[in-house]
């Protein structure tokens, strides 16, 4: 049996990438997994009943944690009453501490070191895997578990994949095309940079609408959110701070392209989800994003290169032949599903 950790992700209302990973994997694992929550010893499942741990069971977590948040967790990992596996997302708090939640910055070194005590670890990209292995080498750890790459699903909330023939006309040459940007509003996601680039295009008379979706980072996001709201008074900008999955799906259906100018990612789910819906993506040239962009449907642009981003966005907005080519690639290339990811785990942990 897989004892699936939902200590944090089950009660949260945030639609973050981490929440998506935990929720969709749990859904697709079905009867192969039982939900559990940490209570100083993993003594109960999510419905409050006792956990019957057996030596052959696997405890699997896709969450972030620390010894301070889960007293006794180190001892639990050491006692080996069951086998343990984890999904590693990224090392962003170590790479960009000045613009990352203080709690995450404080937790992350200990979290990454605790992962070395697990029996198996999956990273959400090859780039993320190298970050974790590099951290362990830097720590000089003598014993570390095998780390494999788990390709995450593109199928968002389980809706069927878009077909080229089904795409709305508004995504293929609309008089007022829409760009869609999804992600928590914070410096790392680089919405301010995107607004600068779009501002230049609007000043030159380019007609398009920018849709920005994401909750606001309480530590760093307020200035960006204020700018979005101020700009919406004079420019075609719409800020959706609390959008449901249904609302996001509707925005995807109306989008000509998505823009992902982020400065750091573990995987970059919005890129995969955009392709699943047949919407081309303009994204930053990050190793983790290149892994998923390489199959087609994307324009990969140097991060924070304003002329290059201006050129790429202009092209995807105005060049119908280029857009049609990217849309064909997006709808025809192989894409992973959450069922695939869950099957990988179920087979390995069976």
Judge contact between 211 and 178, C-beta under 8 A: yes
Judge contact between 88 and 133, C-beta under 8 A: no
For the ranges 14-18, 199-203, 216-220, 233-237, the lowest mean pLDDT is seen at: 14-18
User: What pLDDT shows up at residue 250?
Assistant: 93
CA dist 51 and 203 (Å) reads: 61
What DSSP line would sit under 269-318, residue for residue? HHHHHHHHTT--EEEE--HHHHHHHTTSSEEEE-TT-HHHHHHHHHHHHH
**CA distances to 96, 132, 134, 182, 284 from 263, in Å:** 9, 18, 20, 14, 7
User: What pLDDT shows up at residue 173?
Assistant: 44
> Which residue reads 């694992």 in tokens?
29
User: What pLDDT shows up at residue 171?
Assistant: 47
Model confidence at 284: pLDDT above 70: yes
User: What pLDDT shows up at residue 165?
Assistant: 78
Give the mean pLDDT of 131-157.
96
Structure tokens at 254: 């109306």
> Which residue reads 């779009």 in tokens?
198
| 54-82 b/e (C-beta count within 10 Å ≥ 16 → b) | eeebbbbbbbbbbbebbeebeebbeeeeb
User: What pLDDT shows up at residue 106?
Assistant: 95
Model confidence at 306: pLDDT above 70: yes
3-state secondary structure of 104: helix
pTM to 2 decimal places: 0.92
CA dist 237 and 38 (Å) reads: 43
Give the mean pLDDT of 274-291.
97
User: What pLDDT shows up at residue 47?
Assistant: 61
Model confidence at 136: pLDDT above 50: yes
Judge contact between 331 and 166, C-beta under 8 A: no
Domains in the chain and their CATH numbers? 2-153+337-349 (3.40.50.2000), 164-332 (3.40.50.2000)
CA dist 211 and 253 (Å) reads: 12
Q: Taking Cα atoms as reference points, which of 115, 98, 62 lies closest to residue 263?
A: 98
Determine the angle formed by the axes of helices 338-349 and 17-29, rounding to 10 degrees: 60
Model confidence at 79: pLDDT above 50: yes
CA dist 143 and 61 (Å) reads: 20
């Amino acid at each position: 049996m897989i004892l699936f950790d939902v200590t944090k992700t089950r009660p949260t209302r945030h639609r973050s990438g981490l929440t998506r990973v935990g929720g969709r994997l749990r859904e697709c694992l079905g009867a192969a997994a039982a939900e559990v929550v940490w209570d100083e010893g993993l003594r109960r499942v999510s419905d409050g009943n006792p956990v019957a741990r057996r030596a052959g069971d696997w405890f699997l977590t896709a969450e972030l944690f620390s010894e301070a948040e889960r007293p006794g967790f180190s001892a639990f990992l050491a006692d080996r009453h069951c086998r343990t596996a984890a999904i590693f997302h990224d090392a962003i708090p170590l790479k960009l501490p000045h613009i990352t939640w203080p709690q995450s910055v404080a937790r992350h070194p200990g979290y990454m070191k605790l992962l070395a005590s697990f029996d198996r670890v999956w990273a959400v990209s090859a780039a993320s895997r190298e970050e974790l292995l590099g951290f362990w080498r830097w720590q000089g750890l003598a014993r570390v578990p095998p780390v494999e790459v788990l390709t995450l699903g593109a199928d968002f909330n389980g809706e069927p994949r878009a077909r080229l023939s089904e795409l709305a006309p508004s995504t293929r040459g609309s008089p007022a095309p829409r760009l869609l940007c999804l992600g928590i509003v914070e410096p790392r996601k680089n919405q301010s940079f995107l607004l600068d680039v779009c501002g230049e295009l609007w000043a030159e008379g380019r007609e398009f609408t920018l849709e920005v979706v994401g909750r606001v980072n309480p530590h760093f996001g307020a200035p960006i959110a204020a700018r979005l709201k101020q700009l919406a008074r004079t420019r075609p900008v719409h800020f959706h701070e609390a959008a449901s999955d249904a609302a996001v799906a509707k925005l995807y259906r109306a989008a000509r392209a998505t823009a992902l100018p982020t400065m750091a990612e573990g995987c970059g789910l919005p890129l995969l989800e955009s392709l699943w819906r047949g919407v081309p993506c303009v994204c930053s040239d990050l190793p983790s994003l290149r892994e998923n962009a390489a199959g087609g449907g994307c324009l990969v642009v140097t991060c924070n290169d304003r002329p290059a981003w201006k050129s790429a966005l202009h092209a995807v907005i105005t060049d119908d032949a280029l857009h049609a080519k990217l849309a064909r690639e997006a709808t025809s290339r192989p894409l992973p599903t959450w069922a695939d990811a869950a099957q990988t785990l179920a087979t390995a942990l069976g």
